[in-house]
Structure formats: structure tokens, C-alpha cells
Structure 1
Amino acid sequence: MYARTATAAFVAAAVVGTGAFLMSGTEALAASGPADAKQSPPVVIAHRGASAYAPENTLPAIDKARALGFDWVENDVQFTKDGVLVVMHDTDLRRTTDVEEVFPGRASWGVKDFTAKEISKLDAGSWFGPQFAGTKVPTLKQYLKRVERNRQKLLLEIKSPELYPGIEKETLRVLRQNGWLDRAHVKNRLVVQSFGADSVKKVHQLRPDVTTGFLGTPAVADLPSYAAFTDQINPSHPSVSADYVAAVHALKGAHGKKLQVNTWTVNDAATATKLAGLGVDGIITNNPDVVRDATR
């Protein structure tokens, strides 16, 4: 999903409304029938947390999503040099941390070129605003603990799997060790997605019970092959049309339930309203309150 640079307007934005809307459970996000405006609006998923209001993919961002009343949060996971899963969108650390100041002599700023201990020394909040100074890049383990404490639900993206052999198996291992692969979490609180079709297939092979999503817009003719290993087709919003949503909804996904459409990244009311009218099942957004108010 696209990289977003925070602005002063975002940092200073007043946040209005506390009511929670979300449908409950992964069955609502990934296994129920198509959205019907007369029945229920799309599920709203906080992209990298409520990332219009707090630094993306950090604990403050998921706390802000909770404060706004949102259950579903989305994140990205990558490997460190020593094989620890951390929550970070970019494969390069420069945009959202002070890595160039802390490690000025390094030749590369890639996540995969730093150990977990080195990354733990970075400030991942000051770039967004001074009130977030000292915020850390969380490990997946730390992130899961906070999501659990907040009683939230997780749309987890395996980021750039081609760079990280074995990341699917390790992601599932960490999820299992932290209690996220029991029946209650798998059924109601977890979806694993990726832009890599082979990565999604691998997750499905390793844990067929886990709900999965493919990030992208496959050709309509190719949708049946995707439906064999995924429960969601999650396209960028400019590529969504009523005909495409109908084509996805006409198929059953890997768990024998209607294939779903969750689109990204939608931050304005007009676009959210349009997409709700097209019948999407979920909307992934930096501004979950804006989308909720436009679609509920």
C-alpha cells in the first residue's frame, strides 16, 4: 500500500466521534455475503492503525484506532537481519525513523540489514510529530500483545515476501506462540494478506484454517484460480468497479464462502461513499472516522 508522508494538518487534526461501528468477527470481514447498503455498511479497517492521527504501524496508532472505536487494524511485517519480525511498511527505514542519525555510517538502510536490537534504538514517532518522540518500531510480538489488550482484530500483511524466505512460517509461528492461532482468533479476529500470490498460497497450505487475502486486482478470468487459496481479493480503490465486485462475489473462496472485496486506501468521504455503493465488503483507510461517518 502506498507510502504516506504526515503533514502538520494531519498532526493537528481534531478527532471527532467515539462510537464504534464494526461488524464483529472475521466472518464479517472475510466470510459473509456481499455488502448490502440496506443491511450494513462496509467494514472499516484502520490502515497501519489510525495513521492519519498517529505514526503508522506503531502502538500509538492502534491505540488511536481503539480510542476512535475501531476494532480492525492493518499492519505490515518484515524480517530483521537476525530473523525477528517487526512491524514496518517500507523496506527502507529512512522515511519513518531517525536511522540516518543513529547509524550514519551504514551503507544500506534496509530493514533486513539491521538487527532487532539496532532497530529498537530508533525513534519511529518524531517524523510524524513531536508529541510522538521516542515511539519505537514494535516487534510483531509486541504489536500482538497490544492488539490483544485492546481487544482488536488484525489484518496482517506479509510485506515483500520475495525478500524474506521463510517469513510465512515464522509469522505463523509468532502468531501461534502468542495465542493468535486458536479457534477464537482464527475464526473472528485474524486475516493474513500479501501482494505475493505465492506467499498467500503458502500461508493457506501451512494453516488452511486461517483466512487469507490477496492484495491486487487479478483479471476476472483469473479469479477462480485465486479463489482456490484465498478468501479476499483486496484491490486498490481506483481499480474497483461494480462489475469487478460482482465478479468477485460470484465466486466462493478457499473456505467455501463468498469471496470478498476489501479495498484500499480510501481517506475521503466521497470516495468511501462511492465504494460503499459499489458493494465492497471492507474499506482500508488512514482516516477510519471519516470513512465510518460517510458510510454508516
Structure 2
Amino acid sequence: MNVSKFLPAGARFVRARLLVLLILPACAALAQSAPPTVIAHRGASGYVPEHTLEAKAYAHALGADFLEQDLVLTKDDVPVVLHDIHLDTVTDVAQKFPQRKRADGRFYALDFTLAEVKQLKVTERFNAKTGEPVFPKRFPAHRSTFQISTLEEELQLIEGLNRSTGRKVGIYPEIKQPKWHRVQGHDISRVVLPLLHKYGYATKADPCFLQCFELAEVRRLRNELGWRGRLVMLTEAKAVGADGTDYAALSTAAGLRDLATVADGIGPAISRIVTWNAAGQPTFTDLVALAHAEKLVVHPYTIRTDELPKHCPSSDALHSALFKESRIDGVFTDFTDVTLAWLRAAKVR
């Protein structure tokens, strides 16, 4: 029986208000329970040489939500997609331009024009001193033909794939070592932002997260350069970064509260969230809970099935610790398909 019709009008109003107050939090919780975000770390880098257009196309096909772009500048101020400021761990630069190394023996992208960079062959990552592959079971070194791409070339590829497939895969660019670039006389952030705007990445409604390891640059991007899109502060496992950023302080409640005034999320090393002891038992920090309390998304890095964290017993254990126990919002992965398969099996995708 519906007894509400027998209640006085005032009582019915109070009852309705109580129902609204009870329902709204539940609706809010549902709105926040979006599927975890899968970010292709340097593309499908577990299968194809990192940051090549082929790696990005394959990650797109595997179902990634976002594709990552690490960005450095060439001598003529063209942003290229390359994990390091160095060229000698993923290309044949030492053979093509042996006299162009600096005093430290390294070859820097910033010392080469785009035309020169385009002459290089990209290969699977290797140790510059020994020549040995970093990941021996991945794509064979020095096989096939791959190139370094510009940011604009990659944005056009993603734009084209999104159109032809009907998917809406986002981008996740990182400004690499902006302080170092400025010391060398180049302002990488001022070069990158106009390109992002040109291709429709300008606001928080656009499928883009801009990331950086340097706190001063994160603040500069937001406050001085006027970036209005989503912004992520990356944090290393070590306490302090090369530029002086205090990652330990940033990982506290006070640090995250302050960070939330400029950033939308954090990208911590996995070890800042969970570690394993010699018996394979996990120990969790409170970082995710602290970040969520400040409404910051948490996207840790990096899931590698061929290089699990120390003492982590399996890929399943790693995924479970991150998604089930820690409740992260997304993750960087070298193996998009493996992470997606786990999420689907766990019924969270």
C-alpha cells in the first residue's frame, strides 16, 4: 500500500527531500565509477619499438584509451616523440653521425635538425654502452625500418585512426626535461602547447592529459602559459628529481592538497603505491586514498609483464594490487592487451 498519500503535505515534502538526500550520494558514486583508463606506454612498446608510429597504431588497434607521447625538441625546435633527450639508445645515430656526440659521449636530439633525425633508423631500446637489448624477448633489434616521428605526425595519425575506426582514443603527452631545454636555450612547453591547440586539445573536455616530472613546469604550464586542459604531475620512486622537485613531499597529504590547486592527477611510480616482500606479500601506501581525497586521478607507471616489480609474483598479482586493492583510476602499460584482458576478466571493463 502507498501510505504517502495519507501523509500531510508537509510530511510528504520532508519525505521527498530525505529521498533526494539519500539518492544523490549514490548517484555521485555511480558517476565516479568510470572504467579504469588504459594508457599505452610509448605505444604498444611490448611488441613494437617504442614511440614509433607503428607502435601507436598497434596500441590503438589493441584498444588503448590513451596513447602516450614523450616529447623532446630538435635543434630547429620541432617536437619529436622520443623517450629521452638522447638518441643513442634507440637509433643508429652513433653509426650515422659518429662525430656529433657531446663531451659525455652521448648524442642529443637537440643537436640535430629534424632532417638529420629523419635519417636515423629506430630500433628496440638497447644499452648504449654494451649494445645489449634492454628487453631481450621483445621485437628483434635492428630489424625492419622504423623512424622517429614528430608530434604533429603522430597527432595526424591518431586523428586519422579515430576517424576511420570511429573510436576516440586520447593523447597523453609528456614535456621531457623542460628545465634542461631552457638551459640549452629552448622552451619546449611554448613550442608544444600551440600544436596541441591546433589539433583540438585545449580544455579539460578534450581527450588529453599533459604530464611532466617537474613541479615548477607544471605550475608554469597552468599559471604562466595558460594550459586549460588536464594536467598530471609525475612522481619518481626516488625522493628528489634532477630538477629539485621533492617527490616525497608531493606524496603527502599536504603536498597533494597544494598540488590539487594546479593539477588534475598524479602519475606515480608503482612502488609509491605498492611493494612486495621476499615472500611475495604486498604492502600498500596511502597515496591513492590521499590523492582521491583531493579529487586527483591516479595513473601509475608502468605495467611490464616481462619486468615485474621486485618480488611481485605475477602479472595477475600486479594488476589485482593496483586495481582491486589500491583502486587506481588508470595505468600506463607496455602491454595494452594484457591489461585490458585482466580488466575484462575482473569485470571492471
Q: TM-score, normalised by structure 1?
A: 0.80
> Deviations 1:220-249 (Å, cap 9, x if unpaired)?
121111111100111000111352111110
Matches within 5 A, 1:190-209: 190-205=208-223, 206-209=225-228
For the aligned residue pairs, the C-alpha RMSD in angstroms reads 2.2
Q: For 2:256, give the aligned amino acid.
A: L
- Higher RCO structure, 1 or 2 (CA under 8 Å, sep 6+): 1
Q: Label 1:41 to 1:276 Cα distance change in 2 as closer, same or farther (>3 A).
A: farther
Give the match for residue 251 of structure 2: 219
Partners in 2 of 1:110 and 1:94 — Cα distance? 8
Count of residues paired in the alignment:
254
Q: Does 1:70 align with 2:70?
A: no
Give the match for residue 288 of structure 2: 245
Partners in 2 of 1:293 and 1:63 — Cα distance? 19
Partners in 2 of 1:190 and 1:41 — Cα distance? 17
Q: For 1:93, give the aligned amino acid.
A: L
Give the match for residue 91 of structure 2: 97
- 8 Å CA contact 2:48, 2:124 repeated in 1: no
How far did 1:282 drift?
Answer: 0.6
- 8 Å CA contact 1:35, 1:281 repeated in 2: no
Give the match for residue 134 of structure 1: 145
Q: 1:269 aligns with which of 310, 313, 316?
A: 316
- 8 Å CA contact 1:76, 1:159 repeated in 2: yes
Give the match for residue 175 of structure 2: 158
- 8 Å CA contact 2:175, 2:211 repeated in 1: yes
Partners in 2 of 1:125 and 1:180 — Cα distance? 30
Q: 1:122 aligns with which of 116, 120, 123?
A: 120
Matches within 5 A, 1:175-186: 175-181=196-202, 186=204
- Secondary structure (helix, strand or coil) at the match of 1:266 reads coil
- 8 Å CA contact 2:172, 2:208 repeated in 1: yes
Partners in 1 of 2:256 and 2:201 — Cα distance? 29
- Secondary structure (helix, strand or coil) at the match of 1:123 reads coil
> Deviations 1:261-283 (Å, cap 9, x if unpaired)?
10000123321121002110011
> Deviations 1:163-207 (Å, cap 9, x if unpaired)?
2222111110111233333x6xx5131110000111111221223
Partners in 2 of 1:130 and 1:222 — Cα distance? 42
Q: 1:168 aligns with which of 189, 193, 197?
A: 189
- 8 Å CA contact 1:212, 1:231 repeated in 2: yes
Q: Does 1:286 align with 2:334?
A: yes
How far did 1:112 drift?
Answer: 1.2
Q: Label 1:82 to 1:248 Cα distance change in 2 as closer, same or farther (>3 A).
A: same
Q: For 1:72, give the aligned amino acid.
A: F
Partners in 2 of 1:232 and 1:294 — Cα distance? 24
Partners in 2 of 1:272 and 1:126 — Cα distance? 25
Q: TM-score, normalised by structure 2?
A: 0.68
How far did 1:81 drift?
Answer: 1.3
Q: Label 1:34 to 1:138 Cα distance change in 2 as closer, same or farther (>3 A).
A: farther
Instruction: Work out which of the two has the higher radius of gyration on C-alpha atoms and give 1 or 2.
Output: 2
User: Gaps (5+ residues) in structure 1?
Assistant: 1-31, 252-257
> Deviations 1:69-121 (Å, cap 9, x if unpaired)?
22311120001111111110022111111101111222230111111111011
Q: For 1:69, give the aligned amino acid.
A: G
Q: Label 1:51 to 1:294 Cα distance change in 2 as closer, same or farther (>3 A).
A: same
Partners in 2 of 1:265 and 1:85 — Cα distance? 24
- Secondary structure (helix, strand or coil) at the match of 2:179 reads helix
- Secondary structure (helix, strand or coil) at the match of 1:105 reads helix
